[in-house]
Amino acid sequence: TQLLEQSPQFLSIQEGENLTVYCNSSSVFSSLQWYRQEPGEGPVLLVTVVTGGEVKKLKRLTFQFGDARKDSSLHITAAQPGDTGLYLCAATPDSWGKLQFGAGTQVVVTP
Partner 1 sequence: DTEVTQTPKHLVMGMTNKKSLKCEQHMGHRAMYWYKQKAKKPPELMFVYSYEKLSINESVPSRFSPECPNSSLLNLHLHALQPEDSALYLCASSRDLGGWGQETQYFGPGTRLLVL
- The residues binding partner 1 (CB under 8 A) are 30-31, 33, 35, 40-45, 48, 50, 88, 90, 92, 95-99, 101-104, 106
Closer to partner 1 by Cβ: residue 17 or 100: 100
Element (H, E) at 110: strand 105-110
- We find the least distance from the C-beta atom of residue 38 to partner 1, in angstroms, to be 10
How near is the Cβ of 41 to partner 1 at its closest, in Å? 6
Distance CA 88, CA 10 (A): 12
Radius of gyration from C-alpha coordinates of the chain: 13
Nearer to partner 1, 15 or 38 (CB): 38
Smaller CB separation from partner 1, 97 or 111: 97
How far, CA to CA in Å, does 66 sit from each of 25, 35, 86? 11, 18, 22
Q: Name which of 21 and 90 has its Cβ closer to partner 1.
A: 90
Q: How far is the CB of 42 from partner 1 (least distance, A)?
A: 4
Task: Quote the least distance from Cβ 5 to partner 1, whole Å.
Answer: 13
